[in-house]
Amino acid sequence: MKITFIVLIAVCLSFFASAQSEQAPPATNNLFLNHQSTTSPLKAHWDVQLSFNATDSAAGSIGQAAIALVNNEIWTSKWASDTMIRFDIDGTMIEKFSIAGLTGTRSITSDGTYLYFGTNTNTIYRVDPVTKTLAPPHITSAAINTSRFLTYDATLNGGAGGFWSGNFNTDIEAISMTGTLLTSIPATTHTLTGMYGAAVDNYSTGGPYLWVFHQGGANNSQVTAISLTTGLPTTFTYDMFPVLQSIYGSTSGLAGGCFVTNQLIPGEVSFMGLFQGTPENIVFAIELDPTVIIDDIIAVSLRPQHGYTQIPASQVFVENFEAGFRLDGPNVPDTVYAELNYYFEGTITGSDHLYATGLSINGSDTLIADFDPTNGVGQYTVELILSGSSSFTDGDQLNDTLRFNFEVTDSVFARDNGISNGTPYNVSTVDWAYAASMYELFQPDTIEAIWIQLETPFDGDTTFGIIYSISGGVPSTFVAASDTTIISSTINTYELTFSSPVILPAGQYAFGCYEGSNTTINLSQSNDLYTAGMNFFYLGSTLSWSGSSIPTARFIHPVFFRQTVDAIDESLALHFNVYPVPANDAINITFTNPTDQHSLVQIIDNTGRIISSMQVLPNSTQQQIDISNIASGYYYINWIHHSGTETAPIIIE
């Protein structure tokens, strides 16, 4: 079990002399004391006060979600179950237990006497913390949204008390102690997404604040303060992932429950949260002190607008990378400069230099750069480095750099980062359904399979791949289904293969898989790289598609056709002719046996890489392809139709 407890030295001289700790503390069962800050050497705000590995401490219990401080103990809940876990303040597990009649706890809060539990429903359950039993009457909330997060606020309803509540991407609603809806903060005002935990702060200067632990930001583990006076997000925001990654080696993270207290460390206000990390859940506490802010330029995000982590070589396009930053402190630089460096297989291939002016105190901005990955199949890295004008002192240069990695593949599209967060995704336990993700084809192409990864496969379940075209931002028209696959409990990954390659024009498509009645496919999912509006589900009982608000990337990969050079059969009985040979500006194709369905013509090089592709309409007898931008050399023409593939060599001068 790894425990960290950091004691801060409140002495003026040593405050400015503190150094950043970049190494994880040694694994030990004893309390670990350290006089070094794990954040900026100049900030008390965000200093880590306490942390421990809740998974190891609770004998391997993963999937913990809610968290609360109860009588100097830390209580957590296991996600969507009836299991509760008690820890002492040092991180040692006291017991696992359940509360009769209560399950699915996502949040816990207290009015000082009773605990109140949010279960992602409109019922707020009251619990006696001494007897660990339900203590009716419970509260039926009149809020529009269910209570995933729930936090008590003694100042609500004229001092009679109440709760702030909401769900992932909803309005934040104030509820009285009898369930009456008092007021709300619209989602368009607070602007946060993926909200999982929230806690009222009536202690910090400049408040009151509502601190939200949300699955936004660069690593889905962002802490952000909302002003309860205006409902607007403040500039007080912090990514929990980097510091917890440095201590525990986490590969990914997800925001969980949280609370705010002044009882953890005398004289300090603490934000305590549950980091739903991979491979382990981490309990942590950080200091809140919004008055201690230095001048700082902070790299907030670096991501492609389309959100792809793998792109087939046949679909490479010029991607727009968004580089987001914000400012902290009372002073503003005249100019913020952004250097973007582009790497292929570790070697720099180019760079862009952007800048922003006219910034305001605590302002933010997003710069956009275009990047065309033209070096072929391999690993690409986009690196962002921020700096300010010469007259501005950047107080923490460690948060000026971000990197994003993606891959150009021979045939595979992906949105996930390849690291499962361990939480399985399923649509319904009783209804048959589809789970799907959207991908955009920039060129016509041919799909041969849909690859999926299951977190918890079950013997005898069946599934198959599905393709729908997308119209108006939602799946609309059925295109094709693959052969049926029987699932084995010992196999996690499957290629759902189509009996005949499916020819697709350029456009947007939903690729997914079937989930049977009374079964759960339990797809793997990752916390990166979530892109809003890309996940969909279909229920057999409603026969309709809906967008999913769960902020994850599903392990669903469309696999496109790639013919290897060794497999090319230069058939003597071709049903098409190519001329002229050699050619330099355009080639013409005549079809001696045209098909009555859509087909595809491709130009591929000697490595099998697709250079160009074009859809052929049904019953076409000829097609012309522009080759003026293709380098001289030997190539092949593929004609792909529903009966098979025919190939012929060509020469381009």
Give the pair of three-digit tokens for residue 143: 């809020």
Residue 21 has pLDDT above 60, yes or no: no
Residue 606 has pLDDT above 80, yes or no: no
User: Which pLDDT tens digit goes with each residue over 438-461?
Assistant: 999 998 888 999 999 999 999 989
Question: What pLDDT sits at residue 447?
Answer: 92
Question: What pLDDT sits at residue 500?
Answer: 81
Residue 6 has pLDDT above 90, yes or no: no
* Residue 607 binned pLDDT confidence (cut-offs 50, 70, 90): low
Mean pLDDT of the region 529-547: 91
**Cβ proximity of 293 and 233 under 8 Å:** no
Mean pLDDT of the region 59-78: 91
Question: What pLDDT sits at residue 26?
Answer: 27
Residue 134 has pLDDT above 80, yes or no: yes
Question: What pLDDT sits at residue 491?
Answer: 93
Residue 266 has pLDDT above 70, yes or no: yes
Question: What pLDDT sits at residue 61?
Answer: 79
Q: Indicate the residue type of 329.
A: G
Q: Which residues contact 644 (CB under 8 A, 6 or more apart)?
A: none
Q: Residue 13 phi/psi, 5° resolution?
A: -65, -45
Structural domains of the chain, with CATH: 44-288 (2.120.10.30), 296-409 (2.60.40.10), 433-560 (2.60.120), 565-652 (2.60.40.3080)
Q: What is the mean pLDDT of the chain?
A: 86
427 vs 235: which has the higher pLDDT: 427
User: Which pLDDT tens digit goes with each residue over 171-182?
Assistant: 999 999 999 999
Mean pLDDT of the region 391-417: 92
Whether a cis peptide bond, with omega within 30° of 0, leads into 279 is yes
User: Which pLDDT tens digit goes with each residue over 180-227?
Assistant: 999 999 999 999 999 999 999 999 888 999 999 999 988 999 999 999
652 vs 570: which has the higher pLDDT: 652
* Residue 5 binned pLDDT confidence (cut-offs 50, 70, 90): very low
User: Which pLDDT tens digit goes with each residue over 22-64?
Assistant: 122 222 222 222 222 233 334 567 889 999 999 888 877 788 9
CA distances from 148 to 54, 94, 96, 170, 282 (A): 21, 26, 22, 10, 20
Question: What pLDDT sits at residue 635?
Answer: 83
Question: What pLDDT sits at residue 209?
Answer: 96
* Residue 479 binned pLDDT confidence (cut-offs 50, 70, 90): very high
CB-based burial label for 629 (10 Å; 0-12, 13-18, 19+):
exposed
**Cβ proximity of 290 and 238 under 8 Å:** no
Question: What pLDDT sits at residue 463?
Answer: 95
Give the pair of three-digit tokens for residue 509: 């498509």
Residue 315 has pLDDT above 50, yes or no: yes
387 CB neighbour count, 10 Å cutoff: 17
Q: What is the DSSP string of 365-385?
A: EEEEEEE---S-SEEEEEEEE
Question: What pLDDT sits at residue 52?
Answer: 94
* Residue 330 binned pLDDT confidence (cut-offs 50, 70, 90): confident
Residue 372 has pLDDT above 90, yes or no: yes
328 vs 179: which has the higher pLDDT: 179
Question: What pLDDT sits at residue 290?
Answer: 79
Residue 363 has pLDDT above 90, yes or no: no
Q: List b or e across 509-521, with b for residues whose CB sees 16 or more CB atoms inside 10 angstroms.
A: bbbbbbbbeebbb
Q: Which residues contact 572 (CB under 8 A, 6 or more apart)?
A: none
Of all residues in the chain, what percent carry a pLDDT higher than 90? 59
Residue 248 has pLDDT above 50, yes or no: yes
* Residue 613 binned pLDDT confidence (cut-offs 50, 70, 90): confident
CA distances from 562 to 122, 293, 412, 559, 593 (A): 51, 54, 10, 9, 24
513 vs 298: which has the higher pLDDT: 513
Residue 251 has pLDDT above 80, yes or no: yes
